[in-house]
Structure 1
Amino acid sequence: MERRVLGRTGIEVSRLCFGALTIGPLQRNLPLKEGARLIRLAIENGVNFIDTAELYQTYPYIRRALKGLPPDQVVIATKSYAATAQAMEKSLKEALTSLGRDYIDIFLLHEQESYFTLKGHEEALFYLQKAKEKGYVRAVGISTHFIAGVRAGMMHPAVEVIHPLINYRGIGIADGTAEEMLAAISEAYLMGKGLYGMKPLGGGHLGSDFKKAFDFVLGIKELSAIAVGMKSEIEVIANINYFQKSEIDGKIEESLKKTARKLHIESWCQGCGRCVKVCSQKALTLGPKGKVRVNQEKCLFCGYCGAHCPHFAIKVI
């Protein structure tokens, strides 16, 4: 599989990045052995890049998948919402310990929205810079669903890597269009930032036309890689084949096109509203009877809301 270097980091990654969110508790919640097997399958077929986050709770899957492999064979990117040095120190230690590694390749501030949110997380960012100097991190950056987030990242000297949301319909971009996001990505690239995209299928909304969706993001020369969530052997092999420009079996292609997803709210929802507050897509509202309602068209099926539900009443199915 083709590999590219992320900006000026010197880190070489496969065009297809294994997005680990989908195998974990916030989404499919695969058994540990099965999730690890899918990651290992991807690695054995040319993928050397895994994207995860502290929120995803998928470190155990990755650790098991990488057992017996040299640490430099696979690049791991993770993320944290930490805003202070103390909180980021805890997040970094958690990642190192849980993954069984001496260093993290790429550590990102999770879901940065603008200059103001990045400024508010600057203490954590500077902590990561110091951790890089000590050899615990190889590159530092941000993930974002916002055009303003990309622009804030490109202007900050400490940010080396930006992980933006992009797809041909602009689904999930919080403050503009796909064209405007592309312009920001291009500017960040020209400033030497390493970029890898997320949500090429718009959280599953574009699955019925996945070839067009993948062609669009693969045509963005500024992106070194694309993170794609995969939760089955069929998806892993199909995505690898497509990224390697190989044929996909017709039956598998039809199966992938028919795969639908939705956010399900269980009957025992207490209507506390915590999920509503954390949804950056504004896809959740409280109904008249205190139960949460989902706008499936707005929802990205990321499952982040489920991580904030104290009653475990939210599932991506």
Structure 2
Amino acid sequence: MVNVRLGKSEIVVNKNGFGALPIQRVPMKESIKIIQKAYQGGINYYDTARAYTDSKKKLGIALNNVRDKVVIASKTRALNVEDFWKDLNQSLKELQTDYIDLYQFHNPPFVPKLNDNTGLYEAMIEAKEKGFIKHIGITFHKLNLADEAINSGLYETLQFPFSYLSGKEDLNIIKSCKKEDIGFIAMKAFSGGLITNGYASFGFMEKYDNVLPIWGIQKEKELDEALNNLKSPVKLNKKLIEDINNDKKDLIGEFCRGCGYCSPCSVDIKIFMCARMSLFLRRFPPELYLTEDNQKMMKQIEECTHCNKCKERCPYELDIPTLLKENYEDYKNIIAGKTKVSYVKE
């Protein structure tokens, strides 16, 4: 079993974090079973957020009896002190705990700092002094804000997207965190579900001793892969490196990661699905995405008003209206039989 130390926080956990965002989509009984199986298998880091609907309740029920044996990390999107305390108190209640090990600002539009007139960082300090939280972290999707947070010296951890599709600038963030003794937590390790080769991802993460990947887990099969990696960490071999290089050819560049920050859409386009449809059709059994419901969902793209609000909110600065249009044209061509797609199960 491989452990990772989260920088100056001195939190030490095994190198397989449990990402609780996907269990929002799983019934309560099944969720509790998955979480408890994760704990019994050795996973001791659990990531959630105030925004992840009922995931905190599920974690609270599942881990209540072993609270002192796990690390729970949560987040707040609050941009004022009043909402900060509301979020924290609600999270403590739902998690059935007196404290949260790591509390993070959740992708704010700026880096909260001391004396910045928002009072947010001061609220974090107060919460820590009162024992409601143990450590202070922050999450971002934008490189410039991540750099600013690192250089501020105020944060014990940084959570940032990182996978084998990441570029040199992302790797520099990891190096900066190591230099400043800031724990690095890797979100989007499967790039929003588009990376389907779990073992290649596991092997890639093993190269970075200061990185804690959190795997978004929804199904027991996904958990089993993570537990297998925990017991016997995957090492990259020639075949896995070849798989990674093939994925890079397909996915590096202008593609939607499915973070959802572009939403809501004023005409109810499901952007995070529609903007990735071409990739879904080529990386998964296409019949899953050619249903009548999905055809209606894609047709909604015709209602786009090109207000560009989604484009302004995208942390990856994608031209979302253009991306939607391209995916819709591709989808129509596949429906009409003009474009052929095939899926080969790995």
Same fold, judged at TM 0.5 (above): yes
Instruction: Give TM class, smaller chain.
Output: 0.7 to 0.9
Which residue of the partner structure matches residue 180 of structure 1?
A: 169
**Higher RCO structure, 1 or 2 (CA under 8 Å, sep 6+):** 1
Which residue of the partner structure matches residue 92 of structure 2?
A: 96
Which residue of the partner structure matches residue 231 of structure 1?
A: 218
Identity of aligned residues (%): 25
Mark the runs of 5 or more structure 2 residues left unpaired by the alignment.
Answer: 235-282, 328-346
AA at the equivalent of 2:61: R
CA shift, 1:142, in A, is 0.5
Q: Distance in 1 between matches of 2:49 and 2:210?
A: 23
User: Is residue 67 of structure 1 aligned with residue 56 of structure 2?
Assistant: no
User: Is residue 13 of structure 1 aligned with residue 22 of structure 2?
Assistant: no
Please tell me whether the aligned partners of residues 8 and 193 of structure 1 are also in contact (alpha carbons under 8 angstroms): yes
Mark the runs of 5 or more structure 1 residues left unpaired by the alignment.
Answer: 171-177, 248-256, 297-317
Q: Distance in 1 between matches of 2:107 and 2:284?
A: 30
Which residue of the partner structure matches residue 254 of structure 1?
A: none
Which residue of the partner structure matches residue 141 of structure 1?
A: 137
Which residue of the partner structure matches residue 305 of structure 1?
A: none
**Distance change (3 Å), C-alpha of 1:234 and 1:138:** same
Question: Helix, strand or coil for the counterpart of 2:104?
Answer: strand
**RMSD (Å), alpha carbons:** 3.2
User: Is residue 79 of structure 1 aligned with residue 67 of structure 2?
Assistant: no
Please tell me whether the aligned partners of residues 162 and 187 of structure 2 are also in contact (alpha carbons under 8 angstroms): yes
Q: Distance in 2 between matches of 1:44 and 1:51?
A: 17
CA shift, 1:122, in A, is 5.5
Q: Distance in 2 between matches of 1:245 and 1:4?
A: 15
CA shift, 1:221, in A, is 1.9
CA shift, 1:219, in A, is 0.9
Map 1:1-317; keep pairs closer than 5 Å: 1-24=1-24, 29-57=25-53, 58-69=55-66, 71-112=67-108, 116-118=110-112, 123-170=119-166, 178-207=167-196, 209-223=197-211, 225-245=212-232, 266=297, 276=310, 278-281=313-316, 285=320, 293=324
Q: Name the one with the larger helix percent.
A: 2
CA shift, 1:121, in A, is 9.0
Larger radius of gyration: 2
Q: Name the one with the larger strand percent.
A: 1
Q: Could you give the per-residue CA deviations for residues 233-277 of structure 1, whole angstroms, max 9, x where no partner exists? A: 111011111233268xxxxxxxxx958998x68489686979836
Q: Distance in 1 between matches of 2:123 and 2:112?
A: 13
Q: Could you give the per-residue CA deviations for residues 62-109 of structure 1, whole angstroms, max 9, x where no partner exists? A: 01111322x211111111111222111111101111111100100001
**Distance change (3 Å), C-alpha of 1:220 and 1:35:** same
